[in-house]
Amino acid sequence: MAELTLGVFPSLVGSMSLDFSFKLAEAAIAKGHKVNMWLSGNAVMMAKKGQKAFKDYSHLEKRMKELMSKGMEITVCEACAEARGYHKEDVPEGMKRASMDWYLAKTVKTDRLLHIGGE
C-alpha cells in the first residue's frame, strides 16, 4: 500500500477543489492507502470548527472527522490560519497546526504527492 500526501490550497467555500481532495482521500483510504493532508492558503477555512451546514455551501467537517478516525493525518498552516483569525482554540478535534516545513518534510517519504495549488 502506498502513502499519498495531498497539499490543498483552494478554499472550502468558493471552490470545489477541497471537496475533490476529500473524496480522493476517502477513495484512497478505502483502498488501504495511508493519506496525509496539508491545508494551506484559503484551505485553512477547514481549521474553524462548528461551521453550519447549508445546502448552498460545501461542508466537509463531518467527512474530515470520519477520515481522521480512519487514520488520515490533517495539518493546517498555522500562519495562514492565524492571518485569517482562526486560532488554536478554533481547530476541530484531531486536526493539527504546523508551519509550512511540516508539508515539505512529508514530501520526503510519501510515495505520491498531489499538490492542488491553483485558485
Partner 1 sequence: MKLAVFLSDLRRTEDTYERLKAEKLGVILVENGIYHAVIKEGGKDSPVLSKAGATFYALTDDLETRGYTAANVNPKVKLVSYGDIVDLITNEYEKTAWL
Partner 2 sequence: MGAVKLLFVVQRPPYKSENPRLALTHALASQTAEIYMDEGDSVVPTVAFVGDGVLNAVKGQQAMKTYGVTSTESHIKGCLMTDVPIWVCKEDMERLGLKEDQIVSDAEDMGGADISTKFVSFAEIQKEMESVKHLLFF
Residues engaged in binding partner 1 (CB under 8 A): 2, 4, 16-17, 20, 23-24, 26-28, 30-31, 33, 111-118
Q: Which is nearer to partner 2, 89 or 101 (CB)?
A: 101
CB 57 within 8 A of CB 35: no
Which residues, at least 6 apart from 4, have a Cβ–Cβ distance to it below 8 Å? 25, 28, 33, 34, 35, 36, 110, 111, 112, 113, 114
Shortest Cβ 36–partner 2 spacing (Å): 11
Strand, coil or helix: 117: coil
Give 20 or 102: the residue with its C-beta nearer to partner 2.
102
Residues that bind partner 2 (CB under 8 A): 7, 9, 40-42, 98-110, 113, 115, 117-119
